[in-house]
Amino acid sequence: MVDRRGRPRRAETGPAILDAAMELLREAGYGGLSIEAVAVRAGVTRPTVYRRWPDKAHLAIDALSRAVPIAAAPDTGDTRTDLHLLAHGLVDRLVRTGLAPVILALHADSIGREELAGPLRELYLRPRLGTITDVVTRGIARGDLPPGTSPATARDLLAGPLVYRGLVAGDITDADVDELVDAAWRALTAPASGTG
Amino acid sequence: MVDRRGRPRRAETGPAILDAAMELLREAGYGGLSIEAVAVRAGVTRPTVYRRWPDKAHLAIDALSRAVPIAAAPDTGDTRTDLHLLAHGLVDRLVRTGLAPVILALHADSIGREELAGPLRELYLRPRLGTITDVVTRGIARGDLPPGTSPATARDLLAGPLVYRGLVAGDITDADVDELVDAAWRALTAPASGTG
Amino acid sequence: MVDRRGRPRRAETGPAILDAAMELLREAGYGGLSIEAVAVRAGVTRPTVYRRWPDKAHLAIDALSRAVPIAAAPDTGDTRTDLHLLAHGLVDRLVRTGLAPVILALHADSIGREELAGPLRELYLRPRLGTITDVVTRGIARGDLPPGTSPATARDLLAGPLVYRGLVAGDITDADVDELVDAAWRALTAPASGTG
Amino acid sequence: MVDRRGRPRRAETGPAILDAAMELLREAGYGGLSIEAVAVRAGVTRPTVYRRWPDKAHLAIDALSRAVPIAAAPDTGDTRTDLHLLAHGLVDRLVRTGLAPVILALHADSIGREELAGPLRELYLRPRLGTITDVVTRGIARGDLPPGTSPATARDLLAGPLVYRGLVAGDITDADVDELVDAAWRALTAPASGTG
DNA sequence: ATCTAAGCGAGACGGTACGTCCTGTCTTGAG
DNA sequence: CTCAAGACAGGACGTACCGTCTCGCTTAGAT
């Protein structure tokens, strides 16, 4: 049972802080996010922010989890098409909105800090990667993908090259996406081949 | 031609600063790197650091470029084996030394800032990814890989899933590496398959 | 009505800063006063000093206003004697304590900057020069000085030569003081004389 | 005999530095004068300035000594008129050009530092106060002033109140000057009066 | 005709201080 | 107990000057 004594929290405060954080993440990136600026923009004092989030990483995780939409898993009847749609949607939502560097920085910040990595996985990542799992699961059921296909591997093969291309090249075109999804498809569907 | 006028820079200063920066990157990560701390540890004043590097991102790029070894391209005679060796070496050098988050954060910081992205590509990335290009080029010559294989795509298919697995799972095992390299190999060698 | 919201300032901080400033003014002069050193000596951080004083000039004005004693106006019954006592006291308090150069530098710094000149006049100067005004007013009432004597002029005739002698000669003896006060007395009491 | 070996100093350098220093003293005051800025404005490097002047105080003394004109001693035949002319000229040259605070700050900086006070007295002050000595000497010879009049005292009685009024009031009018010169005249010419 | 010394531009260097920003915490008064 | 307000210790930022130094080049008088 929660303790209901004392003045209750204002309902508007939380969302106002999260909105302010998102705006600042978009404008200045993860490195440019500061609790101070968030508080000012949300019309709130710093201790009020700290009362709800312990530091800017947790705040950023919550802000992103709330602001980045979770795409519905496409279901066209053809798994390969579904993966193409998925990948284009992913790129649209992150690269084209400029949030990709924010999410990368946040991941980088979280590596080795389980108190961050946990929430990041559970709140941000899992719901979004669930879409891939859904498509893969359906693909197996439909016979488009081999029965033993691991959703985690599929996720890495699909998202990994896309992320890496964006990271290294700085940008990514629709043709890039198609090329890399096709490659992932081959990796998922081709029979294992020996060395010789 | 270099300008020889003026008091020459002390030869020890540059390396001392880079060493200090590397130590701090290892200890505190990219976010924990501060010019102040670098200067103190290098036994140098802050303005001396700023005389040589405009900000911590440029400094980190130089420090990493100098400290992270460039692996020789393996050449066992079998391209698939070479790629396995390459991948394990990469993971050893970055994930196991804890530098992976640093490099990710640096990349995230550089996206959209060409004055950073350029040096990062040229100084850090290109020499290291050259190893992949070498192996792929040799693989094509040897007939292990199809003639049209693009080194850039090979790079993304190989490194992308490894990086992504590390990013999302927080760690990566030798078995993971083998699994993902095999998948990349299938993507590179399987014939393109239409959906129908 | 003062604003009582917010964490109240620590009562010890202000005096500690002013004490530190006074010590440094005595040791290093106005030019040698630095906010940094004041903060260190007061056991306080630099931002804490800046929260209370905008720059070293304002700080010096407050420090001097608090530290330099305001002499009681002498009242022996004889105005000329009073002025002698006044002048000797002035010289003792400023020249002999080494504060004279500090006050001069502060005045020089304030000329033409009304945001400094104002506080300097009101906080430091007015209370101290009030003593002269008192003596002059009493002197007029007593008949020792002509009825129209202006306190401002009396102030300039008395203090001016003393200051100037100190400034130009670097030091000032008791005999100097007596000589210059006598001269001021003649200027105040002699009837106006024509040119011829 | 001076050593004439070595490359001789460029003749233009000294004056260029002094001109630059004067400009900066006028623009930013004594506190705002920096060797760095002087060097830049004179088109010279910092070590070149330091080769000729040990610090900004010595530089300022030389710059002022060269730039502030030495008035010719007025000689109208009437000493009191001469003193009025002298005082108005003094005020015009210092207060109205804004150099008064600079000279005060320089004096304040020099108190207790004989290596500065000496040059300041000899180079700046003596030639300029010589005018007063001349007028006083002539006044004694002419019988306008008592035979025992000390030029040093005359100087303090004349200049002191003017300086002090400027210092305390921030400005000084022509009427102020006349009033204070008349007072100084009374001090110099009235017979000594005991208090009783 | 060299040699040698100094002047000078250039710019690095260790240092000190600047004034600002942000962190995370604490302390008050009011709701 | 929440919240606004704001002080506080602490730490870092990036910049400005300080006074010194070490170079390469130039300019001259001394040898």
**Nearest alpha carbon to residue C103 among C124, C82, C87:** C124
Asked whether the beta carbons of C52 and C14 are under 8 A apart, the reply is: yes
Q: Identify from D85, D107, D142 which residue to disrupt to test chain C contact, counting C C-beta atoms within 10 A and taking the largest count.
A: D107
Q: How confident is the model at residue A193 (pLDDT cuts 50, 70, 90)?
A: low
Predicted confidence at residue D81, as pLDDT, reads 96
Predicted confidence at residue A7, as pLDDT, reads 64
Helix or strand holding residue B191 (H, E):
none
CA C23 to mean position of chain CA atoms: 17
C109: in domain? yes
Residues C75 and C61 in one domain: no
CB contact under 8 A, D164 and C156: yes
A156 by DSSP, 3-state: which?
A: helix
Which of D65, D80, D104 is the last residue in one of the domains?
D65
Max CA separation in chain C (angstroms): 72
Q: Measured between CB atoms, does C16 come within 8 Å of chain D?
A: no
Predicted confidence at residue A95, as pLDDT, reads 84
D53 by DSSP, 3-state: which?
A: coil
Q: How confident is the model at residue D163 (pLDDT cuts 50, 70, 90)?
A: very high
Residues C85 and C175 in one domain: yes
Predicted confidence at residue B96, as pLDDT, reads 81
D21: in domain? yes
Predicted confidence at residue C194, as pLDDT, reads 53
Q: Which residue has the tokens 């040059």?
A: D119
Helix or strand holding residue C132 (H, E):
helix C126-142
pLDDT under 50: residue ranges of chain C: 195-196
DSSP, residue by residue, B129-158? HHHHHHHHHHHHHHTSS-TT--HHHHHHHH
Q: Measured between CB atoms, does D52 come within 8 Å of chain C?
A: no
The residue segments making up the domain with residue B115 are 69-189
**Nearest CB to B156 within list A102, A152, A164:** A164
C155 by DSSP, 3-state: which?
A: helix
Q: Measured between CB atoms, does B143 come within 8 Å of chain A?
A: no
**Nearest alpha carbon to residue A131 among A112, A99, A154, A149:** A154
Q: What is the number of structural domains in chain C?
A: 2
Query: What is the domain-level CATH number for residue B177?
Result: 1.10.357.10
Residues A61 and A128 in one domain: no
Q: Which residue has the tokens 């108005």?
A: D88
End-to-end CA distance of chain D: 64
Question: How close D104 comes to chain C (CA, Å)?
Answer: 6
C6: in domain? no
B135-152: average pLDDT: 93
Question: How close C167 comes to chain D (CA, Å)?
Answer: 6
Predicted confidence at residue D10, as pLDDT, reads 86
Residues D57 and D79 in one domain: no
C113 by DSSP, 3-state: which?
A: coil
A90-146 pLDDT, tens per residue?
999 888 888 999 999 999 999 888 889 999 999 999 999 899 999 999 999 999 999
Residues C49 and C78 in one domain: no
Max CA separation in chain A (angstroms): 73
Question: Phi-psi category of D9—alpha, beta or left, where left has phi over 0 and alpha has psi -120 to 50?
Answer: beta
Q: Which residues of C touch D161 (CB under 8 A)?
A: 156-157, 160-161
Residues D174 and D133 in one domain: yes
CB contact under 8 A, B164 and A168: no
Angle at B13 between CA B11 and CA B18, to 5 degrees: 115
Which of C65, C81, C105 is the last residue in one of the domains?
C65
Structure-token pair, residue D58: 């010595």
Q: Identify from B113, B120, B168 which residue to disrupt to test chain A contact, counting A C-beta atoms within 10 A and taking the largest count.
A: B168
Residues A120 and A172 in one domain: yes
Predicted confidence at residue B193, as pLDDT, reads 64
CA A180 to mean position of chain CA atoms: 19
Residues D53 and D87 in one domain: no
Mean pLDDT, chain A, integer: 89
Q: Mean pLDDT check: name the lowest of A68-72, D57-61, D180-184.
A: A68-72
C54-69 pLDDT, tens per residue?
999 999 999 999 999 9
Residues C176 and C130 in one domain: yes
Is the pLDDT at B138 greater than 70? The verdict is yes
D21-40 pLDDT, tens per residue?
999 999 999 999 999 999 99
Nucleotides of E under 7 A from a protein CB: 4-31
CA D178 to mean position of chain CA atoms: 20
Predicted confidence at residue B195, as pLDDT, reads 44
CB contact under 8 A, D153 and C78: no
Predicted confidence at residue B56, as pLDDT, reads 94
A56-102 pLDDT, tens per residue?
999 999 999 999 999 899 999 999 999 999 999 999 988 888 899 99
Predicted confidence at residue A9, as pLDDT, reads 67
Is the pLDDT at A6 greater than 70? The verdict is no
| Cβ neighbour number for residue D58 with a 10 Å cutoff | 16
Between the alpha carbon of residue C56 and those of residues C44, C99, D133, the distances in Å are 15, 16, 40
A182: in domain? yes
C12-44 pLDDT, tens per residue?
899 999 999 999 999 999 999 999 999 999 999
Q: How confident is the model at residue B196 (pLDDT cuts 50, 70, 90)?
A: very low
Question: How close C19 comes to chain D (CA, Å)?
Answer: 22
Is the pLDDT at D194 greater than 90? The verdict is no
D121-149: average pLDDT: 94
C8: in domain? no
Is the pLDDT at B78 greater than 80? The verdict is yes
Helix residue spans in chain D (DSSP H) = 13-28, 35-42, 46-52, 56-67, 79-94, 100-110, 114-119, 126-142, 151-169, 174-189
Q: d(Cα B146, Cα B136) in Å, to the nearest integer?
A: 10
Which of D5, D33, D65 is the last residue in one of the domains?
D65
Q: Using only the alpha carbons of chain B, give its radius of gyration.
A: 20
Mean pLDDT, chain D, integer: 91
What residue has its CA nearest to the C1' of F19? D50
